[in-house]
Chains A and B, each alone.
Chain A
Amino acid sequence: MELPVLNEKPDASASGCASHSCGTTDDQLGHLTDEIRAKVENHPCYSEDAHHYFARMHVAVAPACNIQCHYCNRKYDCANESRPGVVSELLTPDQAVKKTMAVAANIPQMTVLGIAGPGDPLANPERTFETFRRLSEEAPDIKLCVSTNGLALPDSVEELSKHNIDHVTITINCVDPEIGAQIYPWIFWENKRIKGKKAAKILIDQQQKGLEMLVAKGILVKVNSVMIPGVNDKHLAEVSKIVKAKGAFLHNVMPLIAEAEHGTFYGVMGQRGPSQDELMELQDSCSGDMNMMRHCRQCRADAVGLLGEDRGDEFTLDKIEDMEIDYQAAMEKRKVIHEAIAEEMHSKRTAKAESAVKHAQEERLTTRPVLMAVATSGQGVINMHFGHAKEFLIYEASPDGVRFMSHRKADLYCGGDDTCGDGESVLQQTIRSLAGCEAVLCSKIGYEPWDMLEKAGIVPNGEHAMEPIEDAVMAVYKEMAAAGKLEQAKPEERATA
């Protein structure tokens, strides 16, 4: 199926957008061959529209690591794949298999099992491969993925190809040892701890070699990079070019998360993370070279559920111990549900293509682009109460159409319990996290946040509940245009002008 590209026009580069990564969101996969697209279009981590429907889970079977990153504190999970400061429940391969099958039987939307930590999966080859081998046999309808820093990757490619794992993520933060030495203080290599540039060079060589070997084997490779302002931010466009040339199919730039309380080198030394604007700018500049993945949630190593949600508490070891799972029966049920979701996604994609055609035929607006925040719990519609949103999806509306930009975490200001006493300041934090947005679309919203949002220059909107996100965002954009709100500069531009 050919997906629509809304703003495929000669001057697309003027806005920093390359035709392949902009327009409607699902054309991020537009450049891929049919074979690769078939593999990823239902994958919540790779396909922007699939992430509204399908769920993923991680099992924390891999505690050991063979390198140190400056954004990581080994007392916690890997900060690259997980939020820092959290510790996952370590599982044996046997427990991991049981947990995966329990989740798959209870959350039929779960299609992807990843091993991402809490250390480096390939630095724990026995535990990681035992889990994959058993799942390939016992739950063949689950896709398997693995993430790695790449150091042990060349030695693992043969084994990975045996287990029929078709997605591997390599974290590549640099291709220059000078820069690498500022990110990785040491590696463990050939029975020695090696430091400095020498260590970075070995790691970089192994990453690149591993990438080439995976591509040669026909295994899909995604590359993750952590954007570290002043260290590798200027360098990542080059990384993007190189990994694409070698055959990586996606490049995901994630923001550095660094706080002193995490006890990481960057946190303690005061290294800042990128602002939303800096991140989006880099993602835009890289998107000309590569398809980017803007909806990544940097989920924790034992996350369960749709992206942005974590239902791990429902599947703790003591709970799964008591669950009786008939996986054959579950697999049949899952198949029916997956087919229904595929059908729904297909009709939504068709409808989106039709509305894109309709939009193209209408008189073209000449208004400026606007960022809007959306509260959703999935299915691609606006179906979440403002106060219940743990995160907001950020969309850009412009005369070219609507495109997904990023997600932003919100602090829950109303848990409906006794924490409500502190509500106001947390609500202010939530509103701050929406900086740069001019409207927020949700299913419902209370009076207090309504007032505060308005005061912050963000228009609350609860009129499009249960409507498809892109349609609703475009409708609000047109209302703003009709009301003459888009002829003036953005509020923050006025403020700084």
Chain B
Amino acid sequence: MALQIIESCVNCYACEPLCPSKAIYMSEATGHFRINAKKCTECEDDFKDAQCASICPIEGAILDALGVPINPPGSLTGIPPEKMAEAMAELQAH
């Protein structure tokens, strides 16, 4: 049972000091923060919500044990995903 931080992490450091299990580390190999699966408890005994996923500002950067994003597209920014797709398509067209 462990969460994962994936490559969309922007290295903002917000999660690192919050982790009660000291499971979050900067990976030299990937250049972004990662979670040590052996240490991660998903904050079970410490907090109601997983701390890293509660402060992370990047949608999709943290996955649960099943590999599902805890903060799916639109959940943090409030931008409806279809609106974001529209804006990106518009920008690419130029």
Name A's B-contacting residues (CB within 8 A). 63-66, 68, 70, 74-75, 90, 119, 123-124, 126, 185-186, 188, 191-193, 260-261, 263-265, 267-269
* Min C-beta distance of A93 to chain B, whole Å: 13
Given A75-B58, A192-B48, A260-B90, A265 contacting B12 (CB threshold 8 A): no
Q: Are B83 and A192 in contact (CB under 8 A)?
A: no
B77, A68: Cβ atoms closer than 8 Å: yes
From B10, B54, B79, A193 is in contact (CB under 8 Å) with B54
Q: How far is the CA of A260 from the CA of B49 in the complex (A)?
A: 32
Contacts of A192 in B (CB 8 A): 48-49, 54
Given contacts A65-B14, A68-B57, contact A191 B76 (CB under 8 A): no
Cα separation A75 to B60 with both chains bound (whole Å): 13
Q: Which of B17, B48, B76, B87 contacts A68 (CB 8 A)?
A: B76
Are the CB atoms of A268 and B47 closer together than 8 Å?
A: no
Residues of A within 8 A of B55 (CB): 64, 66, 188, 193
Which residues on the B side are within 8 Å of A264 (C-beta)? 77
Contacts of B65 in A (CB 8 A): none
Chain B residues whose C-beta falls within 8 Å of the C-beta of A263 in the assembled complex: 84
A66 touches B79 (CB 8 A): no
Among B12, B14, B18, B79, the residue within 8 A (CB) of A269 is B79
Quick one: which of A64, A90, A267 contacts B14, CB cutoff 8 A? A64
A243-B22 Cα distance, complex, nearest whole Å: 40
Among the listed B10, B48, B51, B79, which residue makes an inter-chain contact with A268, where contact means beta carbons less than 8 Å apart?
B79
Min CB distance A122 to B, Å, is 13
- Chain B binding surface, main DSSP class: loop
Residues of B within 8 Å of A, CB-based: how many? 24
The complex places the Cα of A65 from the Cα of B11 at a distance, in Å, of: 12
User: B11 to chain A: which residues have CB within 8 Å?
Assistant: 63, 90
- CB pair B78 A63 closer than 8 Å: no
**Is B1 an interface residue, CB under 8 A from the partner?**
no
CA distance A126 to B17 in the complex (A): 10
Distance between Cα atoms of A265 and B76 in the complex (Å): 10
* A269 CB contacts on chain B under 8 angstroms: 79, 83
Instruction: Kindly state the separation between the CA atoms of A126 and B13 in the bound complex, as whole angstroms.
Output: 12
Question: Known interface pairs A185-B78, A268-B87, A269-B83. Does A75 touch B54 (Cβ–Cβ under 8 Å)?
Answer: no
Most buried by A among B17, B51, B87, B90: B87
**Interface residues, chain B, CB within 8 Å of chain A?**
10-14, 17-18, 47-49, 51, 54-55, 57-58, 76-79, 83-84, 87, 90-91
Closest 3 CB pairs of A and B: A64-B14, A74-B57, A193-B54
The contact of B76 among A64, A123, A126, A185, by CB within 8 Å, is: A185
- CB contacts (< 8 Å) of A75 on chain B: these are 10, 58
Q: Is the CB of A191 within 8 A of B79?
A: no
- B residues within 8 A CB of A265? 77-79
Q: Given contacts A65-B57, A75-B58, A268-B87, could you give 8 more A-B pairs where the C-beta distance is less than 8 Å?
A: A64-B14, A124-B13, A185-B77, A188-B14, A192-B54, A193-B54, A260-B87, A268-B79
Q: Which of A64, A68, A70, A261 neighbours the largest number of chain B CB atoms within 10 Å of its CB?
A: A64
Are A119's CB and B83's CB within 8 A? no
- State the CA gap A268–B87 with chains docked (Å): 6
| 8 A-B contacts (beta carbon < 8 Å) | A64-B12, A70-B77, A74-B58, A75-B10, A124-B13, A186-B76, A191-B18, A269-B83
Contact across chains for B79 and A64 when beta carbons are under 8 A apart: no
Residues of A within 8 A of B12 (CB): 63-65, 74, 119
Distance in angstroms between the alpha carbons of A186 and B59 in the assembled complex: 13
- Please state if B10 and A74 are interface contacts (CB–CB under 8 Å): yes
- Give the residues in chain B near A63, CB-CB below 8 Å: 11-14
CB contacts (< 8 Å) of B18 on chain A: these are 191
Q: For residue A187, which residue of chain B has the nearest CB?
A: B55
Of all chain A residues, which has the CB nearest B10?
A: A75
A497 CA / B60 CA spacing, docked (Å): 53
A291 CB to closest chain B CB (Å) equals 34
Query: In angstroms, how far is the closest chain A Cβ from the Cβ of B41?
Result: 15
Cα(A261)–Cα(B13), bound, Å: 25
A263 and B91 alpha carbons, distance in the complex (Å): 11
Residues of B within 8 A of A68 (CB): 57, 76-77
Contacts of A185 in B (CB 8 A): 76-78
Residues in A neighbouring B57, C-beta threshold 8 A = 65, 68, 74
Q: Is the CB of A268 within 8 A of B83?
A: yes
Residues in B neighbouring A188, C-beta threshold 8 A:
14, 54-55
> Given the complex of chains A and B, what is the CA–CA distance between A250 and B89 in angstroms?
42
Q: How long is the Cα–Cα vector from A265 to B81 in the complex, in angstroms? A: 11
| Complex contact B47–A66 (CB within 8 A) | no
